[in-house]
């Protein structure tokens, strides 16, 4: 993936810091076959992030092959995608996902 804007640090319930790149939902880059963790977030008027959905995947390109999923997320208010490239170790990705969900309790992970 290229053309990412900046990094955002998300702190999990364990106080572990995870670094994510973020992208505007209306200008997503072409994704490659890369494993990682995903946060679909909304940016408010104070430039704060509210995570609406936290997930993980072993293949980002396949995850976004479902265009209807992206459209539904936009309708739910998602403005940005945050992506943390990760390991092929699915347990580590699930642990990170769980750690973040524990702290933020996103609306669409309930």
pLDDT tens, 70-103?
A: 888 889 999 999 999 988 899 999 999 999 999 9
pLDDT tens, 8-55?
A: 999 999 999 999 998 888 777 677 788 999 999 998 777 689 999 999
pLDDT value for 31: 74
Rg (CA), the chain: 13
Please tell me the pTM assigned to this model: 0.88
List Cα–Cα distances, 3 to 55, 61, 99, in angstroms: 22, 16, 28
Cα–Cα dist 96/81, whole Å: 16
Q: Which of 70, 42, 39 is nearest to 57 (CA)?
A: 39
The correct CATH number of 7-109 out of 3.30.1490.100, 3.40.1440.10, 3.30.930.10, 3.30.450.90 is 3.40.1440.10
pLDDT value for 5: 55
**pLDDT for 106 beyond 90:** yes
């Amino acid at each position: 993936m290229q053309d990412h804007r900046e990094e955002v640090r998300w702190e999990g319930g364990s106080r572990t810091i995870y670094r994510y790149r973020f992208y505007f939902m209306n200008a997503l880059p072409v994704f490659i076959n890369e494993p990682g963790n995903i946060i679909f977030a909304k940016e408010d008027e104070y430039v704060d992030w509210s995570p609406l959905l936290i997930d993980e995947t072993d293949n980002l390109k396949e995850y976004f092959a479902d265009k209807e999923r992206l459209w539904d997320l936009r309708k739910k208010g998602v403005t940005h995608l945050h992506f943390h490239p990760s390991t092929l170790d699915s347990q580590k990705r699930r642990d990170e996902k769980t750690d973040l969900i524990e702290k933020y309790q996103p609306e669409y992970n309930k």
